[in-house]
Amino acid sequence: MTLYQSRESTTLTDNTTKIIYLTVPKGKIWILKGIRMHNGDDVDRSCAVAVVDANNNEIFKLSSVTIPAGQARMMLPFLTTAESTDVAPFNFPIKGGNKLKLYWGAGGASSGGTSYYSVIYEEVVE
């Protein structure tokens, strides 16, 4: 088992949806420990995390919530039902070849901006 932590940035554009896919290597399993998403735009954005297959078909929605402008949310596993429509269990496994999808919905006319996301997961052999 290897524990990975990453923090990356992405650019949000005026009234445009942004999607990032992180692919689990074949022969491996990711066990999700935590996901944090930031909204660096000046408008609220509907954000979600899901597991999709190689063809981007949704297998399981892990969480979804509106993140206010300039704020961040823990998407896994710390959202409460008062904030989120979906909340995944802790230690959620993702099979090799599938992808973790991070989604920032188009928020309307805005300035755009830099957003950050962090993912913590264990990688084990399938």
Convert 43-68 to b/e letters by CB count within 10 Å (16 or more is b). bbbbbbbbbbeeeeeeeebbbbbbbe
Check whether 105 has a pLDDT greater than 90. yes
Q: Which residues, in sequence order, are CB contacts of 86 under 8 Å at separation 6+? A: 48, 61, 62, 63, 64
The structural domain count of the chain equals 1
- pTM of structure: 0.90
Question: What confidence tens digit (pLDDT) does each residue in 17-76 have?
Answer: 999 999 999 999 999 999 999 999 999 999 999 999 999 999 999 888 999 999 999 888
Distance (Å, whole) CA 119 – CA 22 = 10
Beta-ladder partners of 6: 119
CATH number of the domain encompassing residue 33: 2.60.120.1330
Structure tokens at 89: 């269990």
Domain with 95 in it = 2-125
Residue among 5, 59, 7 nearest 32 (CA):
5
Check whether 91 has a pLDDT greater than 70. yes
